[in-house]
Structure 1
Amino acid sequence: MTFVDRSTTFYDLPVFVFPGPDHEDLPAADAVAWRLDCYAADELPFDELWEGFTAKVPTERVRALVLGPWWEDEYTDLRPALELILADAARFPALRALFLAHVTGEECEISWLQLTDVTPALEAFPLLEEFTVRGGDSQGLGAEPLSLRPVRHEALRVLRFESGGLPGQVVRALGECELPALEHLELWLGVQQYGGDATVPDLAPVLAGGRFPALRHLGLQDSELQDEIAAAVASAPVVAQLESLSLSMGTLTDTGAEALLGGQPLGHLKRLDLRHHFLSDAMTDRLRTALGAAGTELDLSDRQIPHRWREEEWRYVAVSE
């Protein structure tokens, strides 16, 4: 499955597509999350679109930026567009949220989005509170892969990596980051075929707890290792500090759910998200009984049926290519 939606809000602001420098009647600079999209802006090259945006909109008041398709004709990698944004970082003192590659499957498959080292974005905007990165795989495309370096960031509260194949290097670097304000962490791990080579041991620093003392939501999602992840989560110290947990979008079966039920108590969670799963009716009933009694909101929607080919069953994640 390749569907990835286009968010209509970001940082609790409505997403507004910048129509190009020749248009009038723009909203107040701090009232929207500005989406830059070369297709929507008369197919301007990104450097011209960026120049027009920074000339037309009071950049000192912009609170959120959303980068849509940064190519107007032939697809290009992210680095040149990101470098333009970072070169003007000083002009955005109010920026608190940044979304890189706000792109749908119709515009570009998530695994084709050629990204880069995104650490400079965190370094250039030390007051950033929300950071989302979509994409990650560039295997065989000759582009620089998505990467991250260990970094300390005092302000970041929300971090999302949305990928059909999140590189293990990113997960390992995240485990070395110091993010004392981080409350919400969401990782779409994806599948190995599209570069998702992170292992359960790679998640150990996050699962150990203490690395991110303010963390209240953890999402380890969209993984073909969802059962193994569930087993690790069942005894992970970090769970005690969480208010919500998501193991959704992956290949969760009764094996992983059994590990959750047999592990540490989960009744303190306000919400447990297991949507897009491969659980039996009997197991969903057991989960509802165990967690419903504790008042935990449980999402068991979007049940999947394995594909059968010859004597084998094939299970699939929600977002891969």
Structure 2
Amino acid sequence: MTINDHLATFCRLPARTFPGPGAPSDSLPAAGSVAWRITSDVYDADEDWADAFARFLDTVDTTEVRALIVGAWQEAYDTAPTGIIEALLAARDRLPALRGLFLGDMVMEECEISWINQTDVTPLLEAFPELEEFGVRGGSGLAFTGLRHTALRSLTMESGGLPAQVVRGVSASDLPALTDLDLWLGTPDYGGDSEVSDLEGILSGTRLPSLRRLALRNSEIQDQVAAAVAGSAVLGRLEVLDLSMGVLTDEGATALLDGGPLTHLKKLDLHHNYLTGPLRDRVRGALEPAGVEVDLGRGDADEDKDDDGTVWRYVAVGE
């Protein structure tokens, strides 16, 4: 699986790409009616991202802008978005209505997810205390330190490998309004070196009192994550649990079923898994009669077995 499509919606708004240089601007939608995607080109850009953003600030009524999507920037495979963050920080007084910000909306033709260079994104949340949704794609060089943010409701970090320091930073954060948390933990091959212990602040139930949707997915240690969630204090308050896209086997699913009750959930998402048929039947039998929506997707414990019996199992999104 690769990322082939840009965000179609963000912050409950349809995404709209701000037109390039020379394009007419007299038919643009109302500033607050869309999530504006500001983009350049990774290769041979006619206009760099900072210049595109400057044109945007001069063209659109920025006092009404509710959501921004940072798309591609020049040489994203080799260059962190430090200048982009500086430009956003410099423009914060011109964006009083901003409630959603996504950094790195690139598809594989622009830059593979694990090639995207990132940096410390904490200053963005500190600079925009009214921000309600924040997302970032790419784990290389990504940093995030623990902070307090009272407005943030949704935090998404998509990666082929999320650094342990980032997971610990999220785990140590005080986010009282957060309802949705989505972490793509990934694989050590692409920098995903976190361990289950790094999730303690998330699973303990002490720091995220409003959490209702928890996604800890795309993980090479999905069995261990599932077992930790099964015995966690936070499980009982969730409405949606997402452990999809990772290397989940019968061991992890059994631990999940044998742990705390799951029948209060509205949805359990385990798509992209390595469960055997009997275990898949057990999951459905335990939860669907109680009204839980179960997504097991397509899974086969032996789908990547070589002729010699060696089984290869992968996260859904790596490189």
Interval of TM-score (by shorter of Structure 1 and Structure 2):
over 0.9
What pairs up with 1:121-160 in 2 under 5 angstroms?
121-137=124-140, 145-160=141-156
What is residue 8 of structure 2 aligned with on the other side? 8
* Distance change (3 Å), C-alpha of 1:162 and 1:73: closer
Give the match for residue 32 of structure 1.
Answer: 34
Equivalences for residues 197-276 of structure 1 within 5 A:
197-276=193-272
Question: What TM-score, normalized to structure 2?
Answer: 0.94
Q: Which runs of 5+ in 2 are unaligned?
A: none
Q: What is the aligned length?
A: 314
Amino acid at match of 1:315: R
Q: CA deviation at 1:204?
A: 1.3
| Helix, strand or coil at the partner of 2:305 | strand
Partner secondary structure for residue 84 of structure 2: helix
Give the match for residue 304 of structure 2: 307
Residues 69 and 101 of structure 1 are in contact (CA less than 8 Å); yes or no, is this contact kept in structure 2?
yes
Conserved in 1, the CA contact under 8 Å of 2:180 and 2:212? yes
For structure 1, list consecutive stretches of 5 or more residues without a partner in the other structure: 138-144
Contact 1:21 1:53 in 2 (8 A): no
Which one of the candidate residues 276, 290, 294 is aligned to 1:298? 294
Task: Provide the C-alpha distance between the structure 1 equivalents of 2:74 and 2:95, rounded to a whole number of angstroms.
Answer: 23
1:30 Cα shift?
0.3
Name the CA distance, whole Å, in 2 between partners of 1:87 and 1:258: 51
Match of 1:316 in 2: 314
Q: Could you tell me which amino acid in structure 1 is paired with residue 242 of structure 2? A: S
- Give the share of equivalent positions with the same residue, in percent: 51
Shift of 1:264: 1.1
Matches within 5 A, 1:87-126: 87-126=90-129
Match of 2:168 in 1: 172
Does the 8 A contact of 2:77 with 2:115 survive in 1? no
Deviation at 1:21, TM superposition (A): 5.1
Structure 2 counterpart of 1:61: 64
Instruction: Note the C-alpha offset of 1:2.
Output: 3.2
Determine the C-alpha separation between the residues in 1 that align with 2:65 and 2:96. 8
Specify the code of the residue in structure 1 equivalent to 2:8.
T
Question: 1:308 Cα shift?
Answer: 2.9
Task: Provide Cα deviations, 1:175-217, integer angstroms capped at 9, x if missing partner.
Answer: 1111000000000000001000010010111111121000001
CA distance in structure 2 between the aligned counterparts of 1:99 and 1:315, rounded to whole angstroms: 30
Alpha-carbon distance in 2 for matches of 1:175, 1:119: 14
Deviates more, 1:210-219 or 1:73-82: 73-82
1:174 is matched by which residue type in structure 2?
V
Pairwise CA distance, 1:45? 1.2
Q: Secondary structure at the match of 2:194?
A: coil
SS of residue paired to 2:290: coil
| Distance of 1:115 and 1:224 partners within structure 2 | 22
Q: Distance in 2 between matches of 1:74 and 1:6?
A: 17
The equivalent residue for 1:284 is: 280
CA gap 1:74/1:279 in 2 versus in 1, 3 angstroms: closer
2 CA distance for matches of 1:129 and 1:50?
21
C-alpha distance in 1 between matches for 2:232 and 2:70 = 35
Q: Contact 2:77 / 2:116 at 8 angstroms: preserved in 1? A: no
State how far apart, in whole Å, the 1-side matches of 2:94 and 2:50 are. 16
Q: Aligned partners of 1:92, 1:68: CA distance in 2, in Å? A: 18
**One-letter code aligned to 1:67:** V
Could you tell me how far 1:50 is from its partner in structure 2?
Answer: 1.2
Rounded Cα–Cα distance in structure 2 between residues aligned with 1:210 and 1:73: 37
SS in 2 for 1:160: strand
Change (3 A) 1:225 1:5: farther
Instruction: Give, in angstroms, the shift of residue 38 of structure 1.
Output: 1.1
Secondary structure of the residue that 1:293 maps to in structure 2?
A: helix
Q: For 1:49-69, what per-residue CA distance to the aligned partner results, in whole angstroms no more than 9, with x for missing partners?
A: 111110001111100000000
Q: CA deviation at 1:302?
A: 2.7
1:312–1:46 CA distance, 2 compared to 1 (3 A): same
